[in-house]
Amino acid sequence: MRCQVEQLGTVDYARGLEIQRERVLERKAKTIPDTLLLLEHPHVYTLGRNARREHLLISANRLQALGASLFETDRGGDITYHGPGQLVGYPIFDLTQHRRDVAWYMRSLEEVFLGVASDFGIEARRIPSLTGVWVGEAKLVAMGVHISRWVTSHGFAFNVNTDLSYFQSIVPCGITNKGVTSLEKLLGHTVTLQEAAARTVTHFGRVFGMEMRIPAAEALALGGTSKEDASASPCR
C-alpha cells in the first residue's frame, strides 16, 4: 500500500479545509491513494465539535491584536492553536484499507510521534484517557480527527518551533491541569520543520505499513532523493 505525501507550505486555515474536503471526496471516489497533507498555518484558533467557547480566554479585540483568526471545525476535541513553527498534518486515509477502528487509528497516530520524539532523544508518552503525545505533563503533539465513511481528515499539530505564548489565550484542548511544550523547548535549540516532517513521514510509513511517496521537489526539500516520484525514507 502506498501513501502520497503533499507538502503544502504555509496555508490559510480556510484554504486548508477546502483542500481536505477535496482530497476526502477524491479518496472516497478512489481516484487518489491514501494521502498525507503536511503544512503550516498562520496564527489561528480552532474549535472542535466538543469545544466550549469559554475556553477561548481573550476578547475579539485581543484576538485581532494577536493577528489570529478563529474557526469552528468538524474535528473532534476542544479548542487548540495553530501557527508558525508548528507542523500540521492531515492524513486522508481510507480506514477500510487498514482497520475500521477509530481507537486503533488514534493510537497509531500517537505511535508515529512516540517514534519521532525518540529520534530526537525525547522520552514521550501517552496519558490514559487523553489523546496526543506528552512529555511529562506537557503536550507535544495535539490530535483531533473527523471520519466520514471511514475516510479520515484533520489530524495532528506537532509543536516544533511554535511560539507557545499563544496557548496562554486558551485552555488547550479543554485540559486545565496540563501544559504545552515544543521540540525547540525540550531540546534547547531550533529544529527545522523539514527535518521534523521527514521523520514524521518515515514513522507514518513504519506504523501504517505504507510506502510513502513524495514528488521530486518535495522529496528534495525533505532530504530525500531526486527521482521523479521517490519512495520516501528520508531519515533512515
Q: Which residues pair with 7 in a beta bridge?
A: 38
Which is nearest to 152 in space by CA: 63, 52, 24?
24
How far apart, in whole angstroms, are the C-alpha atoms of residue 68 and residue 76?
21
Per the annotation, the verdict on 235 as an active-site residue is no
How far apart, in whole angstroms, are the C-alpha atoms of residue 88 and residue 143?
10
- Rounded to the nearest angstrom, the gap between the alpha carbon of residue 105 and the centroid of all alpha carbons in its chain is 14
CB 221 within 8 A of CB 115: no
Q: Which of 36, 142, 173, 180 is catalytic?
A: 173
**What region does 132 belong to: left with phi over 0, alpha with psi -120 to 50, or beta?**
left
**Set of cell numbers at residue 199:** 521523520
**What region does 79 belong to: left with phi over 0, alpha with psi -120 to 50, or beta?**
beta
CA end-to-end span of the chain: 19
CB 95 within 8 A of CB 151: yes
CA angle 123, 158, 98 (to 5 degrees): 90
Residues classed as catalytic:
173
